[in-house]
A and B are shown apart, each in its own frame.
Chain A
Amino acid sequence: MTTAQWLLMFHVASAFCFVGGSVAAAILNFLAIRAERPSDTAVLLRLIRRTLPVVFAGVLGTLVFGIWLWNCLGYSLGAGWIWGALVLWIAANALGGIGGRHQERARKLAERLAVSGDASSGELRALLRDPKGLAVSYLAGAATIGILVLMFWKPGS
């Protein structure tokens, strides 16, 4: 295998960790929103943390191997699709971080409700279904898909 093939293999494996880990977190978040008892919501939201090492490995790997590939394959420094992907990479991470803080607030409230009777409240339901919180998560997902589109499309390449 050539150096470029090795780098591409690690870049794609990192992308699987980034996107796959984000999908796993999204599934657990979706199940937490649908859970009936606050204790179940709290457990599912806490589990999202277990997917984070996979996501972080992917986030770091896509950047390192991606920039290395950029140099190795001799793409121009002015390649717009690569800069676009980098901007979306930053946006996806920033939005993912904001969404994560929103989930942490919901988890803390769910844990408080779980130890005081385990009955759901309007405040928890509102926090879990908060349009702004959901919009941030959807935008993070859209930015991630946008990176994939640019990687396969390579406009101008």
Chain B
Amino acid sequence: MLLAYSRAFWPLFLHVLGAMTLFGAVLAAIVAGLAKLPRATYAALTTAIPAWAVTLACAYWIEHDEGLGSSNATWLGIGHVVLEPGVLVLLAALGTAYWWSRSAKPVAGRISTVLASAYLALLSVALLAMSGKWG
């Protein structure tokens, strides 16, 4: 029972829950994008932002608690790349989804869906690397 309230439980639990929510939000955006629904795509990608923030904050919490700050592990590096510079792909997808919802231009929808798909692929690589402890 004590473990559930200890610091060891919460960061990993929230990190994984945040990442799963991020995965689901991006998946919903892709489904809505393929169905040519600009407002639903934008709404789903908006949901992804707080999930990304929770995932990143808890990743740093775990690193701090477990002393992983100076680790060169491959799986940790992949996680950092996908969460930090990788967010630019998510933000670009969100930005183009906003442009699509305002302009109704099909090209904006195609770009947003491709970017969201690329981000989902990055997330998939990261989750495999982190759960399989690659390297």
Contact = CB atoms under 8 A, between A and B. Distances in A.
Interface of A: 1, 5-6, 8-9, 11-13, 15-16, 19-28, 31, 43-44, 47, 50-51, 54, 145, 148-149, 152-153, 155
A4 B19 CA distance: 22
A15 B24 CA distance: 11
Contacts of B24: 19-24, 26-27
Contact of A47 (B17, B19, B35): B35
B32 to A, nearest CB: 7
B31 A8 contact: no
Contact of B19 (A5, A6, A16, A24): A16
Contacts of A54: 27
B17 A13 contact: no
A148 to B, nearest CB: 6
A12 B134 CA distance: 14
Interface string B11-46: 011001101110111011001101101001001100
Per DSSP, chain A at the interface is helix
A23 B23 contact: yes
A31 B44 CA distance: 9
Contacts of A9: 128, 131-132
Contacts of A44: 32, 37, 40
A148 B27 contact: no
B135 to A, nearest CB: 10
Given A12-B127, A20-B24, A155-B3, A27 B16 contact: no
B44 A16 contact: no
B73 to A, nearest CB: 13
B30 to A, nearest CB: 9
Contacts of B127: 12-13, 16
Contact of A28 (B4, B9, B17, B40): B40
A153 B3 contact: yes
Given A13-B127, A20-B23, A27-B47, A152 B9 contact: yes
